[in-house]
Structure 1
Amino acid sequence: MKGLIWNCKTVAWKNGEKLYKKKNNCLLVYICCESGDKGKQIKQTVRRIIQLNNKRYNKNKVIIFPFAHLSNNIMPGHHAKEIMLNISEMLQRTSSVSVMDFNVSKEVKIHLLPENKDVSYFSY
């Protein structure tokens, strides 16, 4: 599992013809599920997001962005979707969580905060 965690001022997105959804002061987490990812990688990813949020960002909103472009060894979509929902459920214990749709074109507008510490990469 690979991902990027972004500390964002604003994230707005829409899928297809749907209306924009918008969140302010949130974390945007790009997640790529790879073949072989299981419970261990899920727990490590959730732990990393929570630890980083508690240590640096203190945001109460998390947006999960399924993003297959971080690997050439991606998991089939239906399994990856289950993992994303599992991650979402675990994060909902500490944050309000939104999950962007799977396997659809997305239009995303991101207003990032300017410091280097506002982005973090993980790989498990």
Structure 2
Amino acid sequence: YQTKATTGGGIITGSIASDILVKTISAHLKHKKPLTDYWKNLSGLNKELELHWKVRKYFNSLNDQQLNSLILKFKKTGMEKFLEEHGDMDFPSKLVRKMMFSPSKWSLLPTSFRFMFS
């Protein structure tokens, strides 16, 4: 379940989920916390994975012309360099937050919000 829809990877997210599981089991054994806390403890990671899914779904909904247009918009705003410096392929929400504080990327925010809230 921890596979990222954008890259097909999941080593980091799977590792994070296993760490959460270990902590949940430890809390259960030491403090009688319910094992069902695992699902609650996974909520932050699951939000990131849901964002990956929304990004994938959005890109899949674009035809070739729309995708080319979006890539040109990325290039015009210097998004390639921005991604190199600030991108995090495991936690896309960090990128969106950084875009909000970068005026040259504000023209891309409507697109970002389009897939985040779809």
Q: Assess same fold via TM > 0.5.
A: no
Higher relative contact order structure (alpha carbons within 8 Å, sequence separation ≥ 6): 1
Indicate the structure with greater strand content: 1
Q: What TM-score results when the alignment is normalised by the length of structure 1?
A: 0.25
Indicate the structure with greater helix content: 2
Instruction: Please identify the structure whose Cα radius of gyration is greater.
Output: 2
Q: What TM-score results when the alignment is normalised by the length of structure 2?
A: 0.26
